[in-house]
């Protein structure tokens, strides 16, 4: 159904490009705020001409975009080690939700957080995620929280990392038995868009796929898809924390951080059934392990020319 509604999206990385497609299908116009707007012009092709604007991520632009919007969606987050976790995950949602409350037009603020967010977590990432949710819900009554589990797709940082690491004979996995409930990015994007039309103000959705799988088995499945036999080694999380503490001090984006290891030694990253789920948004998740073969083929010995 066509709509003249405007949606402001903060952040247009991995999830954002899929979200824009589904917003366009329903006739929504998108205003995208990005720190590197000049490098995000590819999203202009994700929708019909004139249905997407990409602007600079600046305080004045944030306020101006929200004032013109019917709905606001926040996708901004970071897993990298950062002293700015609370600024990114708590202070920013605090600001956005306050601007939504001040606006005469905004009907709903959808804040994408993370499964496992908790004020009692040892992980700074999960603490900051929970604080962002809390502030958003307190500031604006028409806030909806989306907590996804591990999100997989062609551009994801998880399956592609293990595909690249498959050049090594041994792959260390920290806490092999830690369980995820992976969700395909396209299903998550649909869920976010479907949340717009629901009567769900003040609600929390925990978004996971159909299957629950251990960290180690997920890595093994990736190796099976790309046709490589490697030793998957279960390494104690205590070793991971030491290694993560060292790696995060080095230049560039680290492969592992201590905070990530703290997440891996806490509760599993699966839907708790204490909140609404993706099925409450009318979506039955696809088998994400089957979908992975579509993009992981590049890591096979002959790449896309090999037989799957």
Angstrom distances, CA of residue 259 to CA of 229, 246, 307 = 30, 12, 39
Distance between CA atoms of residues 142 and 86, nearest Å: 23
CB 74 within 8 A of CB 145: no
pLDDT for residue 34 is more than 70: yes
Question: What percent of the chain lies above the pLDDT cut of 90?
Answer: 81
**CATH architecture classification, 6-149+182-208+270-283:** 3-Layer(aba) Sandwich (3.40)
- Tens digit of pLDDT for each residue in 196-253? 999 999 999 999 999 999 999 999 999 999 999 999 999 999 999 999 999 988 888 8
Angstrom distances, CA of residue 286 to CA of 94, 153, 209, 279 = 34, 12, 7, 12
Q: What is the pLDDT of residue 47?
A: 85
Average per-residue pLDDT in the chain? Answer: 93
- Tens digit of pLDDT for each residue in 129-188? 999 999 999 999 999 999 999 999 999 999 999 999 999 999 999 999 999 999 999 999
Q: Which of 11-20, 44-53, 65-74, 155-164 has the lowest mean pLDDT?
A: 44-53
Q: Which residues pair with 276 in a beta bridge?
A: 205
Angstrom distances, CA of residue 9 to CA of 98, 144, 183 = 16, 14, 21
Q: What is the pLDDT of residue 41?
A: 77
Every domain of the chain and the residues it spans: 6-149+182-208+270-283
């Amino acid at each position: 159904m066509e709509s003249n509604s405007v949606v402001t999206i903060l952040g247009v990385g991995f999830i954002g490009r899929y979200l824009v497609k589904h917003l366009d299908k329903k006739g929504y116009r998108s205003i995208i705020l990005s720190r590197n707007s000049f490098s995000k012009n590819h999203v202009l092709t994700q929708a019909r001409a004139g249905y997407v604007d990409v602007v600079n991520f600046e305080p004045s632009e944030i306020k101006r975009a929200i004032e013109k919007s019917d709905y606001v969606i926040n996708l901004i987050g970071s897993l990298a080690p950062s002293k700015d976790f609370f600024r990114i995950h708590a202070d920013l949602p605090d600001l956005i939700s306050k601007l939504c409350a001040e606006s005469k037009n905004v009907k709903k603020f959808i804040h994408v957080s993370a499964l496992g967010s908790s004020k009692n977590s040892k992980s700074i990432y999960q603490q900051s995620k929970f604080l962002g949710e809390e502030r958003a819900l307190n500031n604006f009554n028409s806030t909806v929280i989306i907590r996804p589990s591990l999100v997989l797709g062609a551009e994801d940082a998880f399956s592609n990392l293990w595909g690249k690491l498959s050049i090594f004979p041994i792959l260390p996995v920290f806490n092999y038995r830690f369980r995820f409930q992976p969700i395909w990015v396209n299903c998550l994007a649909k869920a976010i868009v479907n949340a717009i039309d629901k009567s769900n103000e003040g609600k929390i959705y925990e978004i996971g796929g159909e299957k629950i799988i251990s960290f180690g088995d997920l890595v093994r499945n990736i190796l099976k898809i790309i046709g490589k036999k490697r030793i998957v080694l279960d390494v104690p999380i205590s070793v991971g924390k030491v290694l993560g503490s060292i790696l995060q001090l080095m230049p560039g984006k680290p492969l592992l951080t201590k905070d990530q290891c703290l997440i891996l030694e806490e509760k599993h990253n699966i839907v708790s059934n204490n909140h609404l789920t993706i099925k409450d948004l009318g979506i039955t998740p696809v088998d994400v392990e089957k979908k992975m073969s579509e993009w992981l083929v590049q890591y096979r010995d002959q790449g896309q020319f090999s037989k799957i």
